[in-house]
């Protein structure tokens, strides 16, 4: 057990890089400890990407399988050049268009980061976050920071400091609490070593946005086909799961109401994950949680993980969830929902 310090920090404060909370967290990183910090996607659990010992601590605290590589967070292009051998013109175009922001690039590794970060692969995943606290921490520590989401492996990703505290209190040195994160789902991971580039994980930057920037974009077939392993090792794992068994119901409201009626005969406590538009449609359910407005899918992405964690507190036996269009950010929302449901869909 270690004592987990919590440093509150206002993301809008001036000169964050020199704020005492950031300096304290950066000192922990310099000592090889690991700390959680907010990014614009979700909270990350950071350690020195060049130090095997720190990276091991990240895997250990999360209970993360060691074959699932980590994303390295940087604040400058110089840091990218230090850890990658080559930034070709398409990768450069993505950097110019989307960084800092929720896009991760898989690039050829120079072997500068620990083997534990890349899980032995010849490539490394790199991202430049836009969140002021994340940027300040990277600059103050002057380190490339390896950081997966700051949750126990398999749980919904954390979008608030108390989510991190719930999962990792006692196993990490500290948490920078900068309030709620913005996007709410993780970064899009793009493999830049293929022609055309390949989406390995849908996320905060949509396929449509990528196509607009660089033209051709492929999608890893392993993302949707069960007979093919995904190219991002992490995509094969169970993830984001609430404690109750969750089911996706594409047919929507009426079908969900039928299912609730059936479950009520069996005396089970039923939760429904819905949207503002449908909040009054399930009077029979025990718990109805709204994750956002269907007409504004960004609000759904923003609240999704918080709502999934909320169901645990409500102690429901089963969750029935509405589904969403896969346009834009909808693809990332449906990817996370489908994993949270362990692939269970009721036709
Ligand atoms: P997380 O750190 O939980 O946000 O997950 C990062 C995702 O990026 C996981 O699905 C990893 O498997 C994937 N990833 C990280 N590095 C690489 C890499 N070098 N090649 C392919 N996928 C990667
Ligand atoms: Mg994660």
Per residue in 115-149, pLDDT (tens digit) is 999 999 999 999 999 999 999 999 999 999 999 99
Q: Atom 22, ligand 1: which residue's CA is nearest?
A: 232
pLDDT in tens, 26-67: 999 999 999 999 999 999 999 999 999 999 999 999 999 999
Whether the per-residue pLDDT at 226 is higher than 80: the answer is no
233 Cα: distance to centroid of ligand 1 (angstroms):
6
Q: Is 187 assigned to a binding site? A: yes
Is the distance from CB of 146 to CB of 32 less than 8 angstroms?
A: no
DSSP 17: G
Give me the residues near ligand 2 (ion), CB cutoff below 5 Å: 149
Domains defined along the chain, listed by start: 5-223 (3.90.870.10), 245-340 (3.40.50.11030)
Whether the per-residue pLDDT at 72 is higher than 90: the answer is yes
Smallest CA-to-CA distance from 145 within 68, 32, 271 is with: 32
Beta-carbon neighbour count of residue 142 at 10 Å? Answer: 12
Whether the per-residue pLDDT at 113 is higher than 80: the answer is yes
pLDDT reported for residue 238: 76
pLDDT reported for residue 289: 98
pLDDT reported for residue 210: 98
184 Cα: distance to centroid of ligand 2 (angstroms):
12
- Substitution candidate for ligand 1 out of 201, 229, 237, 335 with most atoms within 8 A of CB: 201
Q: Is the CB of 70 under 6 A from ligand 1?
A: yes
pLDDT reported for residue 149: 97
CA distance 256 to 33: 47
CA distance 199 to 232: 9
CA distance 158 to 275: 21
Q: Is the CB of 214 under 6 A from ligand 1?
A: no
114 Cα: distance to centroid of ligand 1 (angstroms):
15
CA dihedral (48, 50, 54, 58) in degrees, to 10, reads 80
CB proximity list for 283: less than 8 A, separation 6 or greater: none
Q: Is the CB of 235 under 6 A from ligand 1?
A: yes
Lowest mean pLDDT among 176-185, 227-236, 313-322: 227-236
pLDDT in tens, 167-203: 999 999 999 999 999 999 999 999 999 999 999 999 9
Average pLDDT over residues 321-327: 97
Smallest CA-to-CA distance from 244 within 136, 154, 320, 332 is with: 320
């Amino acid at each position: 057990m270690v004592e987990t310090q919590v440093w509150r920090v206002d993301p809008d404060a001036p000169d964050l890089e020199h704020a005492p909370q950031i300096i304290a967290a950066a000192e922990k990183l310099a000592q090889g400890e690991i700390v959680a910090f907010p990014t614009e996607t979700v909270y990350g659990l950071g350690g020195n990407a060049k130090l095997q010992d720190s990276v091991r601590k990240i895997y250990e605290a999360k209970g993360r399988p060691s074959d699932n590589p980590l994303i390295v967070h940087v604040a400058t292009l110089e840091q990218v050049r230090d850890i990658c051998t080559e930034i070709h013109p398409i990768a450069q175009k993505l950097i110019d268009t989307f960084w800092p922001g929720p896009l991760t690039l898989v690039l050829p590794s120079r072997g500068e980061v620990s083997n534990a970060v890349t899980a032995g692969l010849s490539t490394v995943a790199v991202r430049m976050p836009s969140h002021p606290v994340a940027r300040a921490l990277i600059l103050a520590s002057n380190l490339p920071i390896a950081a997966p989401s700051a949750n126990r492996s398999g749980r919904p990703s954390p979008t608030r400091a108390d989510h991190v505290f719930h999962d990792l209190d006692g196993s990490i040195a500290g948490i920078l609490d900068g309030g709620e994160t913005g996007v709410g789902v993780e970064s899009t991971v793009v493999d830049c070593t293929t022609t055309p580039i390949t989406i390995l994980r849908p996320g905060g930057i949509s396929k449509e946005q990528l196509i607009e920037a660089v033209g051709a974009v492929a999608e890893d077939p392993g993302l949707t086909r069960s007979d093919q392993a995904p190219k991002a090792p992490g995509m094969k794992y169970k993830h984001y799961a609430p404690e109750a068994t969750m089911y996706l119901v594409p047919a929507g409201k009426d079908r969900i109401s039928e299912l609730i009626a059936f479950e009520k005969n069996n005396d089970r406590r039923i939760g429904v994950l819905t949207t503002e538009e449908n909040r009054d449609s399930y009077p029979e359910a025990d718990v109805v949680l709204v994750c956002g407005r269907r007409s504004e899918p960004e609000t759904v992405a923003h609240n999704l993980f918080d709502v999934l964690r909320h169901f645990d507190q409500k102690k429901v036996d089963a969750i029935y969830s509405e589904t969403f269009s896969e346009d834009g950010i909808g693809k990332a929302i449906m990817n996370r929902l489908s994993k949270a449901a362990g692939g269970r869909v009721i036709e």
